Amino acid sequence: MAANTMARSFLQAVATEEVAPPLRVVQMEGLAVLKIIKHCKEFSPALVTGQLLGLDVGSVLEVTNCFPFPIREEDEEIEADGANYQLEMMRCLREVNVDNNTVGWYQSTLLGSYQTVELIETFMNYQENIRRCVCIIYDPSRSNQGVLALKALKLSDSFMELYRKNNFTGEKLREKKLSWVDIFEEIPIKVSNSALISAFMSELEPDSPVAQCDLDRLNLSTTPFMERNVEFLIECMEDLSSEQNKFQYYYRNLQRQQAQQQAWLQKRRMENMARKAAGEEPLPEEDPSNPIFKPLPEPSRLDSYLITNQVANYCGQINGVAGQSFSRLYLMKALQDN
């Protein structure tokens, strides 16, 4: 009886592990957040990456620590050294009883230009070994505007299924009801500290309630940030126009092929009518060896989806900064009038 109960409980535990609850929040330790910010700001505007360590607990992904990856060039030997460095770091952290479970990675970005095919490939490589992982994106240029530009991303399940099949045709996307906004899912971030660290931070807090980030929000000069966003937006619009030209070329060729097929079928039917009148066997109405019946490969819509995502991101940033800038200008005008 006891053995059956133990076996049943074991099977229930296995079933519970297989059906994991959806990820609701990424809980980050304050130390991990500070390490990410320090690493990204030190090497800005160069892009850097690092490993996230923590625990996967139910619907919460805890990020308790992290370490940076060395900046390397594209070389096989250097890539092998990077893998050895990562394993050695994990071993050292394990020896000092620090969480050494990989839960994802972090990377810096410039003005939010992170939605690329490389990011998706990295996600898929992590998903092969980790059930759930996230990517923490930090933007130092946006943080200079007085905003903590930190976000956690993951790929949607429906998108990963399509990406594994490498089928991004219009028919498949309509069947899965997948639009450009369904590629990435943003997970809310919750920064937490232990009670001891919170007490220590309250002791270090200055008497003045005004911090440097509060002064950054009052900066009236947003011209460089806006200019770079508009420049990147123009580049994305040019790339999107090129993608649209590819689809227009494909549909023109498809219409031309369909017209050739109809002309060929009409001619073949006329021949079969003549052969039937002469008492001969009709010829087949389809000829697989004929090049006009070879299906044309439809271009992938993945690049256009990513570019559209990036355009929406730039527009959102421009809209947010412009709105804040107008508010500050109206505030300064009111102060000057008084």
pLDDT digits (tens, 9 = 90+) for 42-96: 888 888 999 999 888 888 999 988 888 887 655 555 555 667 887 888 888 888 7
- DSSP line for 77-140: HHHHHHHHHHHHHHHHHHHTT----EEEEEEE-STT---SHHHHHHHHHHHTT-SS-EEEEE-H
Same domain, 179 and 328: no
At residue 17, the pLDDT reads: 47
Cα–Cα distance, 216 to 162 (Å, whole number): 43
Positions of the chain with pLDDT lower than 50, given as ranges:
1-3, 5-11, 13-17
Same domain, 27 and 170: yes
Q: How many domains does the chain have?
A: 2
Same domain, 192 and 302: no
At residue 138, the pLDDT reads: 93
At residue 322, the pLDDT reads: 78
At residue 238, the pLDDT reads: 92
Same domain, 67 and 206: yes
Same domain, 211 and 266: no
Q: Which domain holds residue 311?
A: 235-337
At residue 1, the pLDDT reads: 44
Same domain, 256 and 170: no
At residue 189, the pLDDT reads: 92
Question: Of 161, 186, 217, which one is at a domain's C-terminal end?
Answer: 217
At residue 13, the pLDDT reads: 43
Nearest to 112 by CA among 308, 304, 310: 310
Same domain, 88 and 59: yes
Does 223 map to a domain?
no
Same domain, 155 and 191: yes
Question: Of 217, 243, 274, which one is at a domain's C-terminal end?
Answer: 217
Same domain, 43 and 100: yes
Q: Model pTM greater than 0.85?
A: no
Same domain, 188 and 286: no
User: How is residue 193 written in tokens?
Assistant: 């500290």
